[in-house]
Amino acid sequence: MSRLRWTTAGESHGPALVGVLEGLPAGLVLDLGRVDRELVRRQGGYGRGGRMKIERDAATLLAGLRAGRTLGSPLALTITNRDHTIEKLPVPTNPRPGHADLAGCQKLGSPDPRAVMERASARETAMRVALGSVARQVLEAFGVEVFAHVTELGGVAAAARAFEQAGGRRADLRQASDFYSLDPGAEEPMRAAVDRAREAGDTLGGVFEVRALGLPPGLGSYDRPADRLTARLGGALFSIPAMKAVEFGVGREAARLPGSQYLDAIVAAGQGSVETEGEAPVYGRYRRASNRAGGLEGGLTTGEALVCRVSMKPIPTLRQGMATVAFKDLEPVQATYQRSDVTSVPAASVVGEAVVALELCAAFLDKFGGDTLDEVGDALAAYRARLAEI
């Protein structure tokens, strides 16, 4: 057994994206159709651009399965790029503000943004969604659900308790929404905001929320700073292009509250939790009376729902243009424009869901890991029994 690790390779307009996921237990029946459905969801959402009309993302298995079950060996996937034009595309003559272009060129010592932008592109996140779908299936085998939805787009906010009000209808509500929101009342105002931005040649950012239900307490670490789950999840979410803020629970509001109004009181399990009662299995004899911490204390899961929100900046490729300078003579010019989305916050929520699933799966297997899925289940059952005695 090795620790769950993953990596990706590939360029935005190269032949394909490649992903490898190591450390999976043997014996998981993997639904590759589920992987493809998640890829389709990443390509959706109102406000997307022309690239999504070209690509038809689907994952091809290269290694790691036999008779539909994981072998415990590295799992390898590819996603073919239909727009395989990397050698034909012109080299931009100026760096685009808001992208990695200029800093990347300075890093490489060459005025060639193409060498930077092909890998810096969010196109790479398609493979993260594929690998995250596999990790999600591991978690679901043990009763853990990871769910993301859009809470704000272009300044239009969904209802504050949309997730709680959706209850068991959350998957259906999200699927019916062009913005992957759980608040039908926000649908038309969000659409109007996107339409106005499109007409102005502008772009919009927003906020999405990721929740994980059914987590046992004690995942993560308090003694190794890098293994604190807040650090791991924050790093994973910030690794997604264009993400500018991550918060857990009430997040920044915690800075404005006295401790007496922020801390989550500990109660007997039978008293439930204000936010998550009935949504997650109870591990042990304790729960929190509230969940302002967002399911994390001291770098560990508490057993309550994990709640994190992520803020995405507006996409920096503007049809209306943006001021920059030419590499050759530093003369003022308008930044090179290539096709772009008006907004991709809904798609970003799918990527956020995937990277959270990858980190939670890694933490889960760190705690309960075994060579086979059955061994993981046995370790979890033993842990549950011990928690009942504490």
Measured CA to CA, the distance from residue 51 to residue 39 in angstroms comes to: 14
Tell me the pLDDT tens digit for each residue of 199-214.
999 999 999 999 999 9
Q: What share of residues in the chain are helix, strand, coil (percent, to 5)?
A: 35, 20, 40
CATH number of 5-387: 3.60.150.10
Is the separation of the CB atoms in 69 and 134 below 8 Å?
no
Q: pLDDT, tens digit, for every residue of 113-144?
A: 999 999 999 999 999 999 999 999 999 999 99
pTM of the entire predicted model: 0.95
Give exposure, 287-318, as e/b (b: 16+ Cβ within 10 Å): bbebbbbbbbbebbbbbbbbbbbbbbebbbbb
C-alpha–C-alpha distance, residues 269 and 266, integer Å: 9
The C-alpha atoms of residue 79 and residue 58 are separated, in whole angstroms, by 6
Please report, for the chain, the start and end positions of each structural domain, with discontinuous segments joined by +: 5-387
Distance between CA atoms of residues 11 and 124, nearest Å: 7
In this prediction, residue 337 has a pLDDT band, given cuts at 50, 70 and 90, of confident
- Matching residue, tokens 């959402």: 45
Q: What one-character DSSP code corresponds to residue 274?
A: T
**What's the chain's length in residues?**
390
Bridge partners of residue 80, in order along the sequence: 16
Q: Does an H or E element contain 225, and which?
A: none
Q: Which residues pair with 5 in a beta bridge?
A: 22
Residue pLDDT, tens place only, 242-254:
999 999 999 999 9
**Residue among 311, 313, 308 nearest 357 (CA):** 308
